[in-house]
Structure 1
Amino acid sequence: MTVPAPRARRRPSTLGRLLPLLLIGALLAPLGLLVTSNWRQVTDDRDLAARERLGVQYLTALAAVTDALVEAQSNAVNGRPVAREALNGAVEKAAEVDARIGGELLSQERWAGVRAKLEALRGRSATDPEAAYTAYGEVSDLLLALHRKVRESSGLVRDPEADSFFLQDSAGEELPEAVVAAGRLADLATLVSRRPAAEQPRGLLELTGLRVSALAPAADLVDNLRSAVDGSESTDLGANVLTPLDTYQRSVEALAAYSVPGKDTGVVNPGQLSAAALNSHRSARQLQPVILTELDAVLAERIDRLDRDRWLTAGAGVVAVLLLGWLAALLVAAGRRAQRRAALAATHTESPDTPPQRDPWQPPADEPRALQPVGAARDPETAQWGAFDAAR
């Protein structure tokens, strides 16, 4: 009886062996692109928040200069001695901040111009209040422009979240403008009261325009801070900001009331307006550091969150790569085992010394077998007793 030789296994083609690895590579490519894109996005957001914190530091230094400058202007216009110590100290601290981070915020050139103007005020005589009002006004305009420059170069004006955006707008634009305009309003009222009667109508028109310039940013400030509190997830923001904000809002209301000409006199009382402006300045001085502190806290918390997101992204990418690498190793090992089995099968098939396989129920060809009667059972169980029955 001839037994057919077993079929030789087909050796897998090169494409078949590489196809699983190609599929893993096809999965790894978009995964790497996704992880890299997310990492870059989170890193860019973190860098922006870190740069914004530099802007907060610079705005804090400029706030002290603004307060000292407004106070010095009021003293110069009213004939009082100018407290140079406070202004000089604020300028020195701002210069230190500019030397440290001004290069990154592209503010050094502007600060140099502001500081030169501030230095020029030291030698100005206090005998001409009108000239002092003009000179201090020029420096104030340069200082407000520096506020805007710092907000732009630090990225504060592009802040993506509502609470921090309103906080930076309040501390970096609205409040400095309101403080400067309120000081100018009170000082101009003092100057108008000293002018000849023929110039009084023109002075009242100037006061009316300056009144709008002082009250508009103050109103925007109140709206911004309330929007920041409403849009923030932090419970501390409202508790820390609302109390000084209410104080400032009441002082602004008093400033608005005293800046309107009296019905009987038709003029503005400079003494009452100066007192209201001073009260507004003091409440703003209490409010501004609170805003800047809360803004810095919000940015610091955002940086911590973005750091966690970056490490989560990196961890997810590493885990995915390890899993795909493990899968690729399994496929490679399985392919190598299949190759070894195919090679072994081919060796046994092609070798001439390999004995042919036989039916396990058939005896070997050279083994003598006893004669069996015709029609003997072919059942294996009865076949083994055939020789015994024949002998008997």
Structure 2
Amino acid sequence: MTVPAPRARRRPSTLGRLLPLLLVGALLVPVGLLVTSAWRQTSDDRTLAARERLGVQYLGALAGVTDALVEAQSAAVNGRPVAREALDQAVEKAAAVDARIGVELLSQERWAGVRAKLEALRGRSPADPESAYTAYGEAADLLLALHRKVRESSGLVRDPATDSFFLQDSAGEELPEAVVAAGRLADLGTLISRRPAVEQPRGLMELTGLRVTALAPANDVVDNLRSAVDGSESTDLGANVLTPLDTYQRSVEALAAFSTPGAGGVDQGQLAAAGLNTHRAARQLQPVILAELDALLVERIDGLDRDRWLTIAAGVVAVLLLGWLAALLIGAGRRARRRATLAATQSEAPDTPSRGDPWQPAAADPRELQPTGALREPETAQWGAFDAAR
């Protein structure tokens, strides 16, 4: 009977040996994509917040120029000497800021135009209030356009948070427009009082239109800041903003009351005082808004930095876990291959007699088979016939 030899086990193929690494690689690819996507999104948000901070710095410099320009316009319209020192200092500060961050905010060309217009105001004669009112108004329009440019190029207009969006809208658009318009409203009241009686009705119509232009952004400032306080998670925002906001709101209400034309027109003295109070309240409110906006952006940047470190930590942990899994799979594969090789070696080796137990006594040698007939021993053979007769 032929016993078939045991079949040798097949050695694992190359694909079988590489399968653990392929599985780990298949898991590593989506993990890497998720980590990369999270890192890129966080970095983009951080870059935007840092750029917005540059816009806040530029708006702070432009706020000083706006205040000085409104005061210079009021002095020129009322026939007082224009204090050029305050305006020149504000211009120099804004020029320094533009030289530092103007390239990144794409504002250098606009600032050059504004500065040239401001320099041209030096040679104006104080004897012509009407032309001074027009010239200063043109410079103020360019300055407001620069405010809008800075908000757009810095990304403040695209701020994703509710509180910081309302703050930047108030500080970068509504409040500068309200300050300029309130100054024009008070100065126009002064000019109307000096015009001939024939031109008084047309002047009052112009004043009424300018009153709407001045009060609309001022009321928007109040609404925006209250919305920012209501929608913010910061506990400091309301405490810091509401007090100067209330002062500004009262000054705006007074300006609205004294700029309403009555039967005898408007009281130029009361209107000028209301405009001055509004300007002072806005001067106190503007730096508070910018400071709170910058604080929110700093807090956001800190949070994004933490998110980036968490993203890196998550990626490192995922790589370590996948590496540990790969090591386990590779080790298991190597052990399986060693067992397969050992089994194949044992099946192919020739059979060898098993060695007995050394502690057991040796078994007696088996006797040889005795031949029959004549080949038997002589002693047995001679009694064979006798045994047969019996």
Aligned to 1:116: 116
Aligned to 2:298: 300
Say whether 1:238 aligns with 2:233.
no
Does structure 2 retain, via aligned residues, the 8 Å contact 1:174–1:221?
Answer: yes
Aligned to 1:199: 199
User: Once the 2 structures are TM-superposed, how far is the Cα of residue 198 of structure 1 from its aligned partner?
Assistant: 1.2
Query: Aligned in 2, Cα 1:356/1:208: closer, same or farther, shift over 3 Å?
Result: farther
Aligned to 1:386: none
Written as runs of structure 1 = structure 2, the 5 A alignment for 1:234-383 is 234-263=234-263, 265=264, 267-352=265-350, 355=352, 368=364
User: Once the 2 structures are TM-superposed, how far is the Cα of residue 27 of structure 1 from its aligned partner?
Assistant: 1.0
- For residues 34 and 274 of structure 2, what CA distance do their matches in structure 1 show? 58
Does structure 2 retain, via aligned residues, the 8 Å contact 1:157–1:169?
Answer: yes
Does structure 2 retain, via aligned residues, the 8 Å contact 1:193–1:270?
Answer: yes
Aligned to 1:35: 35
Does structure 2 retain, via aligned residues, the 8 Å contact 1:50–1:303?
Answer: yes
Does structure 2 retain, via aligned residues, the 8 Å contact 1:218–1:252?
Answer: yes
Written as runs of structure 1 = structure 2, the 5 A alignment for 1:64-103 is 64-103=64-103
User: Counterpart of 2:125 in 1: which secondary structure?
Assistant: coil
Q: Deviations over 1:75-121 (max 9, x none)?
A: 00000000111100000000000000000000000000000001111
Query: Aligned in 2, Cα 1:217/1:369: closer, same or farther, shift over 3 Å?
Result: farther
Aligned to 2:387: none
Amino acid at match of 1:275: A
CA RMSD of aligned residues (A): 2.2
User: Counterpart of 1:62 in 2: which secondary structure?
Assistant: helix
- For residues 162 and 203 of structure 1, what CA distance do their matches in structure 2 show? 41
Amino acid at match of 1:342: A
User: Once the 2 structures are TM-superposed, how far is the Cα of residue 337 of structure 1 from its aligned partner?
Assistant: 2.3
- For residues 97 and 195 of structure 1, what CA distance do their matches in structure 2 show? 42
Q: Deviations over 1:120-177 (max 9, x none)?
A: 1111111100000000000000000000000000000000000000000000000000
Query: Aligned in 2, Cα 1:182/1:359: closer, same or farther, shift over 3 Å?
Result: farther
Q: Deviations over 1:277-330 (max 9, x none)?
A: 000000000000000000000000000000000000011001100110111122
Q: Deviations over 1:321-358 (max 9, x none)?
A: 01101111221122122222222322232234x52669
- For residues 108 and 66 of structure 1, what CA distance do their matches in structure 2 show? 17
Q: Deviations over 1:199-246 (max 9, x none)?
A: 111111110110001000011110000000000001100000000000
- For residues 129 and 353 of structure 2, what CA distance do their matches in structure 1 show? 123
Does structure 2 retain, via aligned residues, the 8 Å contact 1:3–1:358?
Answer: no
Query: Aligned in 2, Cα 1:39/1:357: closer, same or farther, shift over 3 Å?
Result: farther
Q: Deviations over 1:230-277 (max 9, x none)?
A: 0000110000000000000000000000001123x1x11111100000
Amino acid at match of 2:352: P
Query: Aligned in 2, Cα 1:304/1:10: closer, same or farther, shift over 3 Å?
Result: same
Aligned to 1:162: 162
- For residues 357 and 296 of structure 1, what CA distance do their matches in structure 2 show? 89
Aligned to 1:229: 229
- For residues 122 and 347 of structure 1, what CA distance do their matches in structure 2 show? 104
User: Once the 2 structures are TM-superposed, how far is the Cα of residue 17 of structure 1 from its aligned partner?
Assistant: 2.5
User: Counterpart of 1:80 in 2: which secondary structure?
Assistant: coil
Amino acid at match of 1:33: L
Aligned to 1:138: 138
Structure 2 unmatched ranges of 5 or more: 368-390
- For residues 197 and 314 of structure 2, what CA distance do their matches in structure 1 show? 78
Does structure 1 retain, via aligned residues, the 8 Å contact 2:193–2:268?
Answer: yes
Does structure 1 retain, via aligned residues, the 8 Å contact 2:208–2:261?
Answer: no
Instruction: Report the TM-score when normalising by structure 2.
Output: 0.89
Matched residues, number: 365
User: Counterpart of 1:331 in 2: which secondary structure?
Assistant: helix
Does structure 1 retain, via aligned residues, the 8 Å contact 2:8–2:348?
Answer: no
Does structure 2 retain, via aligned residues, the 8 Å contact 1:3–1:357?
Answer: no
Structure 1 unmatched ranges of 5 or more: 372-392
Amino acid at match of 1:68: A
- For residues 61 and 151 of structure 2, what CA distance do their matches in structure 1 show? 13
Identity %: 82
Amino acid at match of 1:285: R
User: Once the 2 structures are TM-superposed, how far is the Cα of residue 194 of structure 1 from its aligned partner?
Assistant: 0.8
